[in-house]
Amino acid sequence: MKYADPVVDPSARHASLVAGAVDSLDATARLEAAGFSDAMAREYGFADVYHYARTLPTGSTSHRRAVRSDASPRAEGWLRAVVLLSGALIVALAAANLVQIEAVARAVVPLGLTGWITGSLVGAVAWRRVGLAQPADGARRSAALAILAVPAAILLVLAMAGDHRVVVGLIALLWLPFVAAQAMTTVFGRLRVLAALAAACLVAAGTGHLAGARWLPGAALVALAVGTCVLATASYRRTTSVGRRAPRLPDRRDLGASAVAAVQAALFSAAVVVALYSVGLGARIPLSLGRVLAAALCDPLMVDFAVRLRALTRRGSAWSTVRAGVIARTLTYLALAGLIAGATTVTVAVALDHRSVADAGRVSDDVAFFVIAPALGLFTMATAMTLRAGRAMGAVHLAGLCLIGILAVTHLSTALGAAVLTACVVLTAARAIDTTCHPRSW
C-alpha cells in the first residue's frame, strides 16, 4: 500500500498513549478514543484495533497507576466542555445585545447548523491522521479543510439569515473560525489555555450583559475568536515544526473518513433544525442551549462512563454481574443526559421569559421542553457511546432514528408521534446497550 507521505511507525507514538493500560482491551479503548479505527489498523496490516493493540507494550501496571492515567482524559473532557459551552453562551449574549430576541432566535438555526458540521469535518480529518500517527500531516490537512469550509459556511449563514444579515454575518465571521480553530486546538494541544480563555471571555460577556454594557459581550466574542485562532496557529506551527508547513488538501481516505462524520452531523443537524422550526421563537434559544450543553457534557460523561465500566471488570465478578452493571450504568447515563438537556432548556426559558415572544410554533413549548429537549440529550449521549466504540456507521443509524423521532413528534398526531418517538428512544437505548456490552467499548 502506498501513501502520499512516508508513514511513521505508529507504535512509537501509540506506545506512550497505552503506557498506562492494564491489558489489551484497555489499550484498545484508549486507541479508539484517540481516533484509531479498524480501517486504520487494516492499513497497517492488522485485522482490527484489538489485534494491533496486542502488539503494543502495555506492561503490567498497578491499579493506582491506571487510575492516575484516567485523570488526564477526564480533565480534558471537562476542558472541552468548558470551551464548547462558553463559546455558545458568548455568541448568544453577543447576539442578544445587538438585535432583538426574535432575530437572535432566527439566527440560532444557521449558526448552530453550520458550526456543528464545520467542527465535525475538521475534527474528523485531524483525529484520523493522529490515529495514523501522522499528526503533522493531520494539522496540514485539517487546516486546509478549515480554510475552505469556513468561508462556505459563512455564505450559507448569510443565505439563511433573513433580516439582520449584517449582524448575523459579523457573528458568523467570528463564530465559525472559532469552531474550526477549537477543533484543531483540541486535537493538537493548547486546550488548557483555550479553556481558560473561554472561561474568562464568558465571565466578561456575562458581566457586561448584567451591567448593561452592550458592547462587552461582542468584545468578548472577538477576543475569544481571535485568541482561539492564535492558539490554533501556535499548535499548528508546533505540530508541523519538522518538514513542510503549508496546508495540504485532504486526500481520498481523509474525505471518506470525514464523509461518515458529515452524514452523521447532517442527520443530527436536520433533526435539530426540524425541532427548532417546529417550536415558537421563544423556545428556540432555550432548546438550542440545552442541546449544546448535552453535547458539551458528552466528553466528560463518556470518560467517566468508560472508567466506571473498566472498574467493573477489575472486581473479578461473573460476566452476568458485569453485564447487569454495564446495562444499569448505560441506562443511567442516557437518562442523565436527557435530564440535563431538559433541565437546562427549562432554566434558560424561564430566565429569558420565553412567553414574552408571541410567535407560536407547530408544537407547544411544553412539548419542546419536556419531550424534545430530553430526547435530543439522550440521542446525543447514545451517539457518543457508539462513536467511542469506533462504530461510526452505528452513530449514523442513531442520528437517523433521532430524525425520525423528531419528525414524528412534530408532524404527526400527539398519540402517534409519541409512539414513534418512544420506539426510536427504545431502539436507541438497545443499540447503546449492545455497544457498551462489548468489552472493546470500555
Alpha-carbon gap, residue 76 to 392, rounded angstroms: 22
What angle is formed at CA 79 by the lines to CA 300 and CA 332, rounded to 5 degrees? 15
Q: What is the pLDDT of residue 172?
A: 85
> Is the model's pLDDT at 175 over the cut of 70?
yes
Alpha-carbon gap, residue 139 to 74, rounded angstroms: 24
Max Cα-Cα span within the chain: 64
106 with 276: CB under 8 angstroms? no
Alpha-carbon gap, residue 205 to 107, rounded angstroms: 19
89 with 265: CB under 8 angstroms? no
Model confidence over 286-313: pLDDT tens digits? 787 777 777 777 777 777 777 777 666 6
- C-beta pairs of 323-329 under 8 Å, 24+ apart in sequence: 323/437, 326/433, 326/436, 326/437, 327/433, 327/436, 327/437, 329/305, 329/436
| pLDDT average, residue stretch 162-190 | 83
121 with 145: CB under 8 angstroms? yes
Model confidence over 54-81: pLDDT tens digits? 666 654 333 333 333 334 566 777 888 8
Average model confidence (pLDDT) for the chain?
Answer: 77
Q: What is the pLDDT of residue 422?
A: 92
**248 residue type, one letter:** R
Model confidence over 187-238: pLDDT tens digits? 887 888 999 999 999 999 889 888 888 888 889 999 999 999 999 998 888 8
165 with 69: CB under 8 angstroms? no
> Is the model's pLDDT at 94 over the cut of 50?
yes
Q: Which of 135-139, 427-431, 435-439 has the lowest mean pLDDT?
A: 435-439
- Asked whether the CA dihedral 360, 365, 367, 372 is positive or negative, the reply is positive
Alpha-carbon gap, residue 136 to 93, rounded angstroms: 36
- What pTM, to 2 d.p., does this model score? 0.70
Cell of 127: 483525529
Going by C-alpha positions, the residue among 99, 93, 164 that lies closest to residue 348 is: 93
